[in-house]
Structure 1
Amino acid sequence: MQKENNKIALVTGANKGIGYQIAKALVENGYRVYLGSRSLENGEKAALEIGGNIHAIALDITDPISVKNAVEKVQQETGHLDLLVNNAAISNVGPSNRTMEEVLTAQMPSVVPIEDLRAVWETNVFSTLAVTQAFLPFLRKSQRARIVNVSSALGSLTLNSDLENPFRNGFDAAYGASKTALNGIMLSLAIELEKENINVTMVSPGFTATELNNFQGTDTVEFGSLEPIKVALSEDIPTGSFRGPADISGANSHLPW
């Protein structure tokens, strides 16, 4: 049974994977949800599957015209947002059939093509901030607005500088470092917006099997979505926080930067 609270949310990259699960959970908890998708057709298909108060919206975060059109649509229909979930991201721009080891090797700073680096950072950093800036006027109309960023523990400087961290060799210049940059920018935004009572948080789903990693992750999308969903639904997490993936009991941890 769906709850009714009339809050309005926008989730980017929500036609599949983690974004889809977040959008679905928000609808089930009474939100009117804008399901952002680069392909409107794919977005409409996902919205039909989810059902309820969900509305597909064409949104390619790397395309300024697409962002402008999405802003105009929200302006015409609701005029405000209570929650923005920045989920859309890419991990690489190479062939989709490569293993994670092959992708990682190609994205180390000594060899990564600068154009590949730019492409990943364009989506994960610059375009994510651009979308946030574009929808910020709508969030400012909410009494308790929140911005949730689906990030990665792979971007943690603290964890990756720890010699005992068994995953530090996976810290690459493209995806991993783009999440470091995203975390830094969003922490800066959290500090800036404190006085406006707009909450900004980051959350890592863990190594989840999604299209982002050619489905080579170790966790199911349902499990990996647990913590992002919890953060998206919670209004009590301190601004500027970075939340970690759920453990097997469903608990969470506060990750270091």
Structure 2
Amino acid sequence: MTNMIALVTGANKGIGLATARQLGTLQMTVLVGARDAERGRTAERALRAEGLDATFLPLDVTDAESVTAAAEWVEKKHGRLDVLVNNAGIVLGDGERALPSETTLATLRRVYETNVFGPVAVTNALLPLLLRAPAARIVNVSSEVGSIGVMTDPAGALFALTSVPYPSSKAALNMVTAMYAKELRDTPIKVNAANPGYCATDLNGNSGFRTPEQGAEVSVHLATLPAHGPSGLLWGFQMDAGGGYGVLPW
């Protein structure tokens, strides 16, 4: 993995920071994408203190100028990109019970700006640099709640969940993943969606039963797939299958 360049969005904390750390331990140069400069620099210092090659990269995935500036910086500094992990995401809901009928369009728009439009904007801006790499990998951090198959299974652990914004945004991101995989199927680039599982992060008040490090393992696996590895899959933790890793239904 020597001399590979990896960019992780939302890498200043949680699964994103753990992903940056694990990629760094594989001797990759890690670009710590974060919209909060103070937190981004703090993450950079922490990773460097561990002996990793990490650099904070200002990046707000919802801001077109920020995305363009980040892509221009990567091109000028490195000339290519080997790994892109679209990790930045938010969770918002409406109402006490988070029912579909309680959902507001304002909340829906905010969630989609980060969770769907952001990965598309970042991927498109960096795709020319990914195509310059020998065999780039794109990982979109999704969720099992974006799987229609999982969410509509009456016997499944997630059947009771009804919130629209976050699950539907991840379902949309899954389709985005599949479409990029189709477009790039004749290139060495592999595009997959990662399901880290229910990890303890700020997104859920640290209530998850998996650690950020365990969640990051999924993205790192997909970011380091060999040439014969798959593309266009939702892969990761399988809660309804008793744990372990594997392919999840769209």
Q: TM-score, normalised by structure 1?
A: 0.89
Written as runs of structure 1 = structure 2, the 5 A alignment for 1:27-66 is 27-51=24-48, 52-66=52-66
Per-residue deviation, residues 111-142 of structure 1 (Å, max 9, x unmatched) = 11111011101110012111111110100101
Q: Cα distance 1:234–1:246, how it changes in 2: closer, same or farther (>3 A)?
A: farther
Q: CA deviation at 1:69?
A: 1.3
1:147 counterpart letter in structure 2 = I
One of 179, 185, 190 as aligned partner of 2:176: 185
Quick check: 2:238–2:248 contact (8 Å CA) kept in 1?
no
Quick check: 1:150–1:202 contact (8 Å CA) kept in 2?
yes
Quick check: 1:93–1:119 contact (8 Å CA) kept in 2?
no
Q: Cα distance 1:20–1:161, how it changes in 2: closer, same or farther (>3 A)?
A: same
Q: CA deviation at 1:214?
A: 1.9
CA RMSD across the alignment = 2.1
Quick check: 1:93–1:120 contact (8 Å CA) kept in 2?
no
Q: Cα distance 1:171–1:196, how it changes in 2: closer, same or farther (>3 A)?
A: farther
Q: Cα distance 1:150–1:171, how it changes in 2: closer, same or farther (>3 A)?
A: farther
In the comparison of the two structures, how many residue pairs are matched? Answer: 245
Per-residue deviation, residues 143-179 of structure 1 (Å, max 9, x unmatched) = 1011011110111011122221131222421001100
Structure 1: where are the runs of 5+ without partners? Answer: 95-100
Structure 2: where are the runs of 5+ without partners? Answer: none
The answer to whether residue 122 in structure 2 is matched with residue 131 in structure 1 is yes
Aligned mates of 2:162, 2:194 — CA distance in 1:
17
Q: CA deviation at 1:93?
A: 6.6
Quick check: 2:143–2:197 contact (8 Å CA) kept in 1?
yes
Quick check: 2:93–2:107 contact (8 Å CA) kept in 1?
yes
Give the match's secondary structure for 1:138.
helix
The answer to whether residue 155 in structure 2 is matched with residue 161 in structure 1 is no
Give the match's secondary structure for 1:253.
strand
Tell me which residue corresponds to 2:218: 227
One of 20, 24, 37 as aligned partner of 1:23: 20
